[in-house]
Each structure stands twice: as structure tokens, then as C-alpha cells.
Amino acid sequence: MKAIVYDGPHSVKVDEVDDARIEGPQDAVIRITTTNICGSDLHMYEGRTDVEEGTVFGHENMGIVEAVGDAVERIEVGDRVSVPFNVACGTCRNCNAGWTSFCQRVNPNEGMVGSAYGYAMMGPWRGGQAEYMRVPWADFNLLRLPEGTDKEDDYTMLSDIFPTGYHGTEMAGVGPGDSVVVYGAGPVGLMAAHSAFLRGASRVWVADKEQDRLDLAAQIDAEPIDIADVDPVEFVLDATSGVGADCGVEAVGYQAHDHTGEEHPELVLDNLVNSVKVPGGIGVVGVYVPEDPGANGELAQEGRIPFQFGQFFTKGQAMGTGQAPVKRYNRQLRDLITAGRANPSWIVSHRVGLDEAPDAYERFDTRENGWTKVLLDPAA
Amino acid sequence: MKAIVYDGPHSVKVDEVDDARIEGPQDAVIRITTTNICGSDLHMYEGRTDVEEGTVFGHENMGIVEAVGDAVERIEVGDRVSVPFNVACGTCRNCNAGWTSFCQRVNPNEGMVGSAYGYAMMGPWRGGQAEYMRVPWADFNLLRLPEGTDKEDDYTMLSDIFPTGYHGTEMAGVGPGDSVVVYGAGPVGLMAAHSAFLRGASRVWVADKEQDRLDLAAQIDAEPIDIADVDPVEFVLDATSGVGADCGVEAVGYQAHDHTGEEHPELVLDNLVNSVKVPGGIGVVGVYVPEDPGANGELAQEGRIPFQFGQFFTKGQAMGTGQAPVKRYNRQLRDLITAGRANPSWIVSHRVGLDEAPDAYERFDTRENGWTKVLLDPAA
Amino acid sequence: MKAIVYDGPHSVKVDEVDDARIEGPQDAVIRITTTNICGSDLHMYEGRTDVEEGTVFGHENMGIVEAVGDAVERIEVGDRVSVPFNVACGTCRNCNAGWTSFCQRVNPNEGMVGSAYGYAMMGPWRGGQAEYMRVPWADFNLLRLPEGTDKEDDYTMLSDIFPTGYHGTEMAGVGPGDSVVVYGAGPVGLMAAHSAFLRGASRVWVADKEQDRLDLAAQIDAEPIDIADVDPVEFVLDATSGVGADCGVEAVGYQAHDHTGEEHPELVLDNLVNSVKVPGGIGVVGVYVPEDPGANGELAQEGRIPFQFGQFFTKGQAMGTGQAPVKRYNRQLRDLITAGRANPSWIVSHRVGLDEAPDAYERFDTRENGWTKVLLDPAA
Amino acid sequence: MKAIVYDGPHSVKVDEVDDARIEGPQDAVIRITTTNICGSDLHMYEGRTDVEEGTVFGHENMGIVEAVGDAVERIEVGDRVSVPFNVACGTCRNCNAGWTSFCQRVNPNEGMVGSAYGYAMMGPWRGGQAEYMRVPWADFNLLRLPEGTDKEDDYTMLSDIFPTGYHGTEMAGVGPGDSVVVYGAGPVGLMAAHSAFLRGASRVWVADKEQDRLDLAAQIDAEPIDIADVDPVEFVLDATSGVGADCGVEAVGYQAHDHTGEEHPELVLDNLVNSVKVPGGIGVVGVYVPEDPGANGELAQEGRIPFQFGQFFTKGQAMGTGQAPVKRYNRQLRDLITAGRANPSWIVSHRVGLDEAPDAYERFDTRENGWTKVLLDPAA
């Protein structure tokens, strides 16, 4: 079958790989109908991980169930399904507690928990940027979608970024009436803004420096803050009589840059601490890593981020972090899409066939204007 | 000053009463700009309580602060404020816990807690259907509103029915993605439907038999169920593949009637138990009373409601009840109104002067078509 | 193998039945080391259900894993395990939400959810009062215990009554400092009292009329209320300056009797409403049934319980109900037992072999003094 | 009246000051019966703040109400009361939400919220290490205690350190069955350990290097970790099969030292991140400051703590911080003391008269062996 494989730094190619097949009694094989390129795929694409050449990428997947193993009972061949990016066993303590992002049985690397399809260091699970993929523990992992092909570009957001943005708002404690500042207007930040409104936020600000992304924020009535022009902390304090936003979401990660382009991993956290009220909640879904050998300086290399912790404490703030447990939210978000009350596809800029994926990767990686979210369609 | 006073069963009149004035150091006097007639005023109006003639009605009040006592520090003369219907001291255990609806220091009747302005058995607090009213513990009770006169008909909903409807959804546990069935499309039921959407509900059904109210429900994209035509339990089960709604809200109360007009106080609770899923949450804001001497049968007279408790248990449902602690929600709902994301005034049918109040009471009491919510404007 | 089977009203016998065996890839077979007689077994024993003769009883089971199916990965042969009484698939919506007591895939009866081993109307799952039992979805259902035989009589409480009593306190919202009144000093009520203290309760009252049970309550520093002598509502109000207990737990069920021995299904609920504060939480784990053909009067036959709902509403109380999702609590309670901080075995009165089970059933059913909790040991 | 006043670095003296008196209608004057020296008093004592000479210290106060202002209604002369260290107005948004530690009306310093008696930068409120003290907003701030003098040394812990330790466990999310690691066995850390058990923890470790404090931890069945001897991270991981503790509490603060005595402000946070499980909760009640001019290095001077944030994110941990809102917990903890289920006085080492306070300050400041907690008794 055809798949997108890693071909060394800044290169992916379409290749023939072994067919996905049932390997164990709880497996399913999915015929992919949509699979998205994620911003985190670019970390591997840019050669900054130790992912091996030949690896099949893709952790944002949906499709039709093609085959199931002997022990699969709930899911049936022909079901239209969304595949959460976290691979999870469904029976360990963390899965029991709804923390599928930290499944204790799924990552064979020493001392590591949690896993994902087609991702460096995240276990042996082949990605879904391909014609087919294998899904283990299918009854537990797969979310059934309404039959047919309706709202395909909305439902495809359920595998990762919509629940991930939502998780940011959950950890930040966003509730009805709250004001929320989101740092980062990439796909995850935009989903956080959308989620904040779904949870009843009264006002949402989104800070970024890319105009195309800020325009997308404005389309859902979030208030864009162009950090190329203004200081976001001052902006939010001005808008709140000096009090600050009720909640904040970090959707940038450790590669934060200041307006001059210099990397400042503590910058966004500082901005959050200073623009969120006393006391207020902060949800961090932008990725920070324990080791970053290529970073500037010893602290950053060890994943130490010297943000204003003293101020954070004095303001009595709370912070939640980490990868989203997609399965905790995807059913509810699916129902909002089905009812027409959530419409995450507004950020989609392109839907292309697998053969166009290498070109799409390059344009998305260079943040070519207007390439905000790319979907791959193996049948195209 | 002029006020609306009770003049015996089915009669209120405009009368001259003593001016509202500062009586203690924590008091404020409010010049009323809007005061609403509430469905619960009709209980007194119809003569079914032991309220005395001459009582000034009105617990849904807003206005401008005219004067404050010596110990009032936070609130200032000239502030535009909403007055929660619950009178609360701010320092007892229940107030500390946010249960201002059950203030332990405010009701002088033996063994009773909680209080309201202008209401039978709810303490000595004169109502606000008048030119002015006195508010005790002003710093604690009053909610500041944006200056001016903007959105007056929205903000006036903050004193009672908007937080009351919201409380129903809170007790029912409505969260993003949930489906919700609301019984009763009166003002409180409509506010519950509005609140459910603000909290992220995917679908909301509203069951009633009055067409004008069902039309109002439909205006906010709730799905009306005309119980004159269809069985609401069957309707909801059909719409949910037999599973039932995630949550339910009771906004009818003990005077529920079946479609033939006979009083069946257990009817709405039965419908909730049977149309809400296993397990699901139910919030009861429709009023039930401990004693109802005029009711049919001994059980109802003692406030005993023989609903299907065995089914309720078997389905593992949970139920919250009681009057809303307005202050727990009114700030957040105010901010949603200010931001334009909540618009509770869509249910307002009439805004009239005090002199027209007697007529308005009569029309509202007989449920004259189109008289869904009446606001009184002392300056009109 | 040997098993306890139903032999008609008021009779069980030890019989030879087909060996428990692996029937599907997710099954395990457990060699039973301890299996308890539960108060709810007596409902079947007394002939008040339509359970068939020959049915193997037993839903409170623990033992050693003897064999596993091909798809079982987490649990291994030789593991010492506790078997939650609820059979649950681990992949339906309710299981995902932690409501294993309402698994949607496990009960083949039309419209019913939730299941149990060896119980009337609760699915086809044979009980564990036997030498061996089969457990489906073994990786999901089984809780691993420390190796060996230590604390066997404590760990055996994890399959049902300890989590069930705990669930009562959870639904009642018991937190540190709270006072709690528990109605019913049977095994579940005693476990609720124990759980209340584990959750930080300051005071716990337990109301019953059986002296041996009240003595057990006193052994853990709960305060017994002998309802043969005193009115429990007055007692609790006196002890709380008229305010009432913060929380209440119902551990009696629909067969409540007054002190004259007459059945009054609304009695305990009335007592809870009247002895719990405004507003306070009530958890109902005593069983109420949707239909009870043998009850006195039409209301009780339809599962309608005419308790003081008007008072319940006026006091703004909340109530949670239903069978406990054992798996939500059993790991934490196991850890408390292991650490020596929970000791639920204090209620155990007898541990006997299977051959003595018929006699034990009879003595437990007649509430012979001192027969508070009976454990069966197939190896004895 | 006599009071303890600051007399320059490393010196306090007993001095005559103006009598405490009613200054406003909501004030009370308290005759102090017990007032504790707090570890945070030592920050001022050591001359590391800009507190003025002549300042009366003391924010851990209890006593008898001597006089009340005209608007005080709930509290009466003669009441025995505990005074929360946070001064709070009771009517601002943060107070309404239960965040009395961040009262928005009480601190006159520009941009600051929250206040305390007798503390640098925390507002104009004179301390209680004196014969009398004034308490503003008395009805809101004061907690009534049982009449008499019973359990004085327990109840005196309610003004600060017992609720503060408890707040650490609340923010860490400690629940029944959890294992908890507490860093720091000073008074607050010991109260956190006590609180963890009250909330149902199965195991509690307390890490410190002072033997007298570790002995106190062991007295309540917490497991001491002597960090002079062992690495606490390894110790906890060993004790939990490599998983880590469920929850962690920081009770050390920014002046953390490694075992060689060098200041390492990131050390305790690193230890928490590494010894708490994936995902787990961390509560920080040890104090971190926004500016620390005397610290080593620029980062620490700006309150920037370069702990392992990348690891924190990867483990999906959550962290709550800040000063405790005493009033949220003190009533419940009082009830636990009254019922004999909490006994925080076990840490008290000395109870002395005001005249002995200068000596006691010196011994406590130098951590003289056995001086773990000092109470002052103005009547001694």
C-alpha cells in the first residue's frame, strides 16, 4: 500500500510499504479517508528527532473499518471511525482514570508512558498517512462517527487538535462567563479559542504574529492580538481594567520566539503569568521537552524554563500541562459537530492526495501564507 | 412613594407607601429602573398564600444606588446595580459556602433559612415593584452593572430567572456536548434552555403545551416538544436511539397538569426519570412545597410526591433541587450579556409603567397569549 | 466442581456443576479463595425474585487466576485478584465514564444496563459461590491484590460492600470535617460509616435497631442511634443545634420498617430529608426497585415512594442513587487496606466452607444474633 | 498595651503601644489568648524585608472578643474566636469566590491583592503578638470556637499553618487511597502530612534533614525521609515500584538548600517533578517571591526558578500555588479538632509569655533543636 515515509531531514516521500493487517485479536484495520499533517510532524520532518528513515508518519487519522480481530466486539467492519492519536490499552490504571495520554502499557521505551501513531519515541505504532492503518485495542480506542461522508473535514479534527485545544481550556478551568487569553494561533490555539467559546467564555483573545492565523481567530469572534505590534500583556490588562484574563492557554511550546526572532522558551509562560488574573488557571498544551540538545544554553538543553515562578506563586495561579487524553473529550465534541454547534473545519486550508503530501509538507513547514491546516485524502 | 401592593386575591393596586430609607449601616436604597413580574408572584396574587394585604411585591429588581449606610464601602451612590432576589447576610456558614439562597441569618421565621424581597414567609424585606427599595448588606448583595442604560432588559434577568434557569442546568450537570431536556417553557424553563447552550449543550428539547412559549424556545434553536400532541418521553427516547437525554431540568413545579388539565404533581418528575439516561443528572428549579393544604389528596397536601423513585434508583440518577443562589452565577452571566453572548431579553413581551401593573398582573396570571414576561418601569 | 445453587424458596444446596472454563479470548477463570454471602442474595433466597432453580449464587468474589484467554495481556495466571460484582465491558460509553455499574453491553435483557454475577435479571453470568468462576473482559474487570494470603478477609470486601458503602458517601458529598448520618447498620451501612471516616468525617451517626450491628458501629467510633428507643431525626437535630447532619446515607432500601414492624418504604427517605441540613447531600445505596408486585399498596408496587419531596426541595438538598461502580473505588480502597488504614474485616462474623453454606444462609436470613457477615471458603 | 515589636535585624522587643480599638463599624477588638510565632515572621526578623522598626508582629492569632463596632451583628462580645491570617473584606469578587487570600480591597499597595496582620508589604493591619488586636470586617473574618479554654493549642493552629498545610494537599488533589510526598518537615509540612491523612491518604512521606522534625512526622505515622542520608526521589520511586507518589506538596520555599548547604531554589521543585507520578498533582505552599535582591544570580533575583519544566510537561503534571485562603478550610478543621479527629498541637514545643518572646524568636530563628513551634500567651 502507499504511505508517506520519512526520507531524511526536510523530506518525505510516497512509498510502497507492507499492508496494514490484523496482528492480534483486539486489532482493527482502518481504510483511511482523511489523515492530517500536524505541526508536531514538522519536528520530525525538520530532522530534530532521531526518527528513522522509512517511518510512516501520521497520528491524526479517520476512516472506515476494513477488518477486525477475533476479540473485537463493539466495533464492526464498515464503521466510520475517528482514531485518537494516543494509543491506549484501556485497562491500566491511567487508562482507567481517563488518562489515555499516559497509558502505562503501550510504550516499550524504558520508563515511558503514553504513545502515538507514527511518532518518534512514542512506540512501535505505524502512522496513518497511508491507505490503511492498524489500530490495537480497537474496541477501546475507536470512536464511531455518523455513517456516510458528511462533515468529514470537521470530524477529522477529533483525532488530535480539537481535543488538544479543548484540553487546554479544561486545564485552565474555563467556565461560562470567563475571559480567556490564548497564546498561539496555530491549529491548536485556534481550537482552544473555539473550545473556550463552546464552554461559555465571554471573551477570548488570541495572540500571534501571523496575519492569516489571526484572521482565522477573528472569524469565530475571538479578538486577535498581533504581537508584532503590541505587547499582549499590556493589551489584556488594558482590556480588563488591570485585572487580567480569568484563564490562559499556552499553545506555542518551547520554541517560542520574541518579536526579533530570538528563541526565548520562557517568554510565553511569562506572558501568561502576567496577563492572567490573581488567582487564575493556565493550561499548557504547547509542547515542552525534557531534553533539547540543540537549544541555546544549558538550561534550555535540560528542559529548564526559567519563567517568573515567584510571580506565578504570588498570584496564586494554577497550571495544568501535558498531552491531551483525546478519548476523554472526542465523543462530546463529535456530538457538537453533529449538532452543528462546533465547526472546527473553518481552519482547513487544503485537502490533497497522498502524492501531493511531499509538497504540502514543505509549504506547511515554511509557514507559507494561507497553509494553516492540510488534510490528506488517500482516495484523491 | 408609589408601589404595587397586594389588595386581596386576584388584585394588586398602585399605592402610596412610606419611602424606602437607610435603616442600618450596611443598607443601600435603590431607585428602581426595572422590576419584573415573576411567575411566583402569581402564587400570592391568586390568594394561595397567607401574604397580608398591603404587602409590596417584587423580587426581580434593578436600579441606581440612591443612598448608602455608614458601613457601606464597596458600593457607591450612582452605581447601576442588579439586586439578587435572595437576601443574604454574607457572613453565615451557608453564605460562606455560596448558598445565599439559604442564608441562616435572614429569615426570622422559626427554623427557616433563606429570604426574598416582597414574598410570603420569606422575611420582612419589602419588595421592589415600587419607585425605591431598601437593600440590606448592600456591599455583599449588590452586583454592579455597566454604567448607562444599555441592555436594561437583559440585565434585569440577572436578579432571578436567568440565574435560576442556569442553576437548573448546573444541578443537572450540563456540560459541553450534552443533550438536555427541559420541562416547562415558562420564563425559567426558557432561561434553562438558554443556559444549557451557554454551557455547551449540543441539543436542547423544551416540553410545554403553550405555543407562544414553544415558539420562544425555537427562536434560540431549542427543539420544542408540544406535549398537547406528543408524549415527551417517547419523543426524547426516539431522538436518542432509546438512550435518553444526558440531563434534565424541571421548570414546572408542583402544579403540573396532565394534558386533560388534571393536577398530577408527580407527572413531570416521572417524565424526567424516564427521559433522562442511565445514569444522568436532573436539576429541579420548579417549586415544590412542604405543605399544600389546597391540593388534591393527603399525599400532595403533605408535599409527598409519589414519583417513580424505584426507577430513579435503578437508573442511578442524581437530582439537585432548590432555589438558586443568584449571587453564585450573576457576575458571570452579566459578563456574557455585556459581551453580547447571552441575550435573555428575547423572552420579554411587555415593558409598562407601574400604573399598568394591575392590568399586567391580570393578563399574565391568565396566561393571555403573548404575555410571556412583563417588566415594570417606575419611570415610565 | 462444587457450587452453591438455588433450590427453591428458602433453600440453597451444594451441588456439582459444570467446571468454569475459558469461553472467549478475553476471559479468565478464577479459583475462588473467598466468596461472601450478601444481603442482596437473600432477596433471591427468600423466593421474591424469579431466579431459576439451579442458579449458582455469588457476586462477592476473590481468588487466584487459574487460566486466561488468548487476548488477556495484563492479568496473568497466578495473580491474586478481586472481582467487582459489576460485570463490565470496558469499552461502552458508560464504562468509559467510569460507570461500570451501568455497562451498556453486558445485560441482554431488553432495555437494561448493568450486570452482576449470579443474580436474577442481571445477565447470564454464573456466580462465584463455587470452586471456580469465569470472568469476562478479565483485563478490565480484575483488580490485582498483593501476593499471598494476607488480609484476605479485608480484601474480600473490595468486590462489593466496601465500594458500595463508599459510593454512598461519595454521592452524599462527604468531605473533611463533615458530619454524616447513616441509616442502616447492615454491612453496607457499616462500610459507609467506615468510608465516611476515611474521607475525613468529623462525626458519624449510624441508626438501626439491631444491637449487634450498632455495637459494630461503635467499634469504629461511629455514634449508634438505636431507633427502637429514640427518634433518629430528633437525635441528630439535638446533636447539631437543630441544623442537621452535613450529609446522609441511605443503606436500608425499600423494605424499611417502622419500629412496629410495618413496612414503610418512605420512612428512611423522610428521616434523611429531615435530619440532613439545608442544603445537604444524600447518597442512596439501599436498593429501591421499579416494580415490587408483593408490596403493600399500588404506589409501592410501582416503585413510587411518597417521601417528603416538598421538604426535600425547600431544603435545597441533592440526592445521588444507584448501584456502585466498584471499579471506580476498589484500587484506592485496596491501597488503604494494604497500608493498614482501612480494616473492613471488623464486621466479619463467620468464615465457613461451602458445605456449611446452606446453614449459614438460613442463619443470616433470619438475622440470627451475631451473624453479621459470612464468608465462604471453598478450600475449607 | 504590651506588644512584640520589630527592633531591627535579629531583634524584637516587648514594648508599650497604643491600645487596639474599634476604628470602624465592622471592627472587633480581640483579647489575645494565644498568638504563634510563624516561620515567615523570621523573614522579617532576619532583616530581609523592608519592614519598619516598631512594627507589631503576629498573624497567627486567637482570643476573646472584647468589643465590636456598630455594624457587627454575627459576632458577639465574649465569643472565643480564631483570626485567619488573611485580612479579607468579604464582598469583592475574590472573597465571593472563597479566595480570601487574594482579597481585592484590603491591600493599599499599588496592584497588590491579599493582606495579613503584622506583615511587611501586606497592608496596614497591626499584628496580634500583643495583648489585644483589631480585626476589620469582623463578622466575615472571625471563626467562632467552642467556649472555654479547651484544646487551645490545637485551635490556635487554625489561624494559619493547619489550613496552609491543608491547602497544599487540596491543590495537590490528595484523595482517599493516595500516596503523598511532602517536602519540608517544618510546621507547614507537618500540617500537610496531618491533612493528607485526614483526607484519606494511604501513605505519606515527609522529606527533611532536621531530625526533630522528622521525629514529629513519624509520630503521626508519616514515613520520614532523611535527605541528609538518602535521595528523596530515589526513595519514593523505590517505594512505589518506580511509579512515583500520587501527589506532592512543597513546604520549603525559595530558600531551598542542597545537602551541602548551597542555595538551590529549583531543587525542591525538581524533586517534586521527579518523585510524583505521571500524571500527578503538586501543591506549592512554600513561599516563592517575585523579587529577591539578595539571591545568588540574576534568575533567582527576578524570582525565575529554572526547574525541569520540560519534564513537568512530559509527565502531564498539574501544580497549584499560593497563600492559603484560611477561611475556606478553618471551620471544617475546627470541627475535626472538636471531634478529636485532628490534633495539630502535637508539633508545639513551647508556650511562653510575651516577655520571653525575644528569646524564643532567637532560638526558633537559629532552629535550636526541639524548638519546632512556639506559642505566645499574653496572660502568662
Q: Which of D302, D303, D319 sits opposite A319 (nearest CB)?
A: D319
What pLDDT is stored for residue B3 in this prediction? Answer: 98
Pick among A169, A202, A204, A220 to test the B interface (most B CBs inside 10 A): A202
Average pLDDT in chain D: 96
**Which residues of chain A does B246 touch, with a Cβ-Cβ cutoff of 8 Å?**
none
Where along chain A do its domains lie? 2-160+325-377, 161-321
Is residue D261 pLDDT above 80, yes or no? Answer: no
d(CA A218, CA C320): 43
For residues A362 and A186, the answer to whether their CB atoms sit within 8 Å is: no
Residue B12: helix, strand or coil by DSSP? strand
**Which residues of chain D does A99 touch, with a Cβ-Cβ cutoff of 8 Å?**
279, 316
Closest CA–CA distance from residue C176 to any residue of chain A (Å):
22
Q: What's the whole-number mean pLDDT along residues D23-49?
A: 95
First-to-last C-alpha distance (Å) of chain A: 15
d(CA B295, CA B255): 9
The fold of A2-160+325-377 is: Quinone Oxidoreductase; Chain A, domain 1 (3.90.180)
Tell me how many residue pairs between chain B and chain D have CB atoms under 8 A apart. 49
DSSP assignment, residue A289? Answer: -
Pairing relationship of beta strands B374-376 and B28-36 according to DSSP bridges: antiparallel
Q: Which residue of C has its CA nearest to B287?
A: C313
Would you list which residues of chain A are within 8 Å, Cβ to Cβ, of chain B? 166, 175-179, 195, 197-200, 202-203, 331-336, 338-339, 341
First-to-last C-alpha distance (Å) of chain D: 15
d(CA B289, CA A178): 35
For residues A58 and A117, the answer to whether their CB atoms sit within 8 Å is: yes
What pLDDT is stored for residue B4 in this prediction? Answer: 98
Listed as ranges, residues in chain A with pLDDT below 70 are none
**Which residues of chain C does D247 touch, with a Cβ-Cβ cutoff of 8 Å?**
none
Residue C200: helix, strand or coil by DSSP? coil
What pLDDT is stored for residue C121 in this prediction? Answer: 86
Is residue C260 pLDDT above 80, yes or no? Answer: no
- Residue B141 phi, psi dihedral angles, 5° rounding: -80, -30
Interface partners of chain B (CB pairs < 8 Å, 3 or more) are A, C, D
Would you list which residues of chain D are within 8 Å, Cβ to Cβ, of chain A? 94, 99, 101-102, 111, 113-114, 171, 242, 254, 266, 269, 278-279, 284, 287-292, 299, 302-323
ipTM above 0.95, yes or no: yes
Same fold, B2-160+325-377 and B161-321: no
C-alpha grid cell, residue A158: 477529533
CA B364 and chain centroid, separation: 15
What pLDDT is stored for residue C262 in this prediction? Answer: 81
What pLDDT is stored for residue B313 in this prediction? Answer: 98
Closest CA–CA distance from residue A79 to any residue of chain B (Å):
17
d(CA C283, CA C276): 11
Q: How many residues does chain B have?
A: 380
**Which residues of chain C does B311 touch, with a Cβ-Cβ cutoff of 8 Å?**
290, 303
Residue B180: helix, strand or coil by DSSP? strand
Residue D158: helix, strand or coil by DSSP? helix
CA B61 and chain centroid, separation: 12
Q: Which of B69, B70, B140 sits opposite D90 (nearest CB)?
A: B140
Specify the CATH class of A161-321 in words: alpha beta
**Cα separation values, B278 from C73, C97, D64, Å:** 31, 12, 53
Closest CA–CA distance from residue A155 to any residue of chain D (Å):
26
Q: Secondary structure of chain A: what % helix, strand, coil (to 5)?
A: 30, 20, 50
- Indicate the pLDDT class of residue D121, thresholds 50, 70 and 90: confident
Q: Do A341 and B175 touch (CB under 8 A)?
A: no
Tell me how many residue pairs between chain A and chain D have CB atoms under 8 A apart. 125
**Cα separation values, C248 from B279, C282, D270, Å:** 20, 5, 43
**Which residues of chain C does A25 touch, with a Cβ-Cβ cutoff of 8 Å?**
25, 70-71
- Find, among A360, A336, A372, the residue nearest to A151 by Cα: A336
C-alpha grid cell, residue A307: 519563567
Q: Which residue of B has its CA nearest to D70?
A: B25
What pLDDT is stored for residue C48 in this prediction? Answer: 81
Cis peptide before C9 (omega within 30 of 0): no
Would you list which residues of chain D are within 8 Å, Cβ to Cβ, of chain C? 166, 175-179, 195, 197-200, 202-203, 331-336, 338-339, 341
Count the Cβ atoms, other than its own, within 10 Å of residue B84. Answer: 29
**Which residues of chain A does B175 touch, with a Cβ-Cβ cutoff of 8 Å?**
332
Q: Do B310 and C322 touch (CB under 8 A)?
A: no
- Indicate the pLDDT class of residue D111, thresholds 50, 70 and 90: confident
Q: Which of A102, A287, A309 sits opposite D279 (nearest CB)?
A: A102
Interface partners of chain A (CB pairs < 8 Å, 3 or more) are B, C, D
**Cα separation values, B54 from A42, A285, B135, B292, Å:** 76, 61, 19, 23
Listed as ranges, residues in chain B with pLDDT below 70 are none
Pick among B92, B96, B105, B137 to test the D interface (most D CBs inside 10 A): B96
Q: Give Dmax (Cα) for chain B.
A: 62
What pLDDT is stored for residue B321 in this prediction? Answer: 98
What pLDDT is stored for residue B26 in this prediction? Answer: 98
For residues D30 and D67, the answer to whether their CB atoms sit within 8 Å is: no
Q: Do A315 and D308 touch (CB under 8 A)?
A: no
Helix (H) or strand (E) holding C272: helix C267-275
- Find, among C129, C117, C118, the residue nearest to C86 by Cα: C117
**Which residues of chain D does B163 touch, with a Cβ-Cβ cutoff of 8 Å?**
none
Closest CA–CA distance from residue A169 to any residue of chain B (Å):
12
What pLDDT is stored for residue A313 in this prediction? Answer: 98
The number of CA neighbours under 13 Å toward the Cβ of C161 is 32
**Which residues of chain D does C341 touch, with a Cβ-Cβ cutoff of 8 Å?**
197, 200, 202
Closest CA–CA distance from residue B123 to any residue of chain D (Å):
17
Q: Which residue of A has its CA nearest to D314?
A: A322
DSSP assignment, residue D344? Answer: G
Q: Supply the DSSP string of B320-362, one letter for each residue.
A: EES---GGGTHHHHHHHHHTTS--GGGG--EEE-GGGHHHHHH
Pick among C68, C75, C79, C96 to test the A interface (most A CBs inside 10 A): C96
d(CA C300, CA C303): 5
Average pLDDT in chain C: 96
**Which residues of chain D does C200 touch, with a Cβ-Cβ cutoff of 8 Å?**
198-200, 336, 341
- Indicate the pLDDT class of residue D114, thresholds 50, 70 and 90: very high
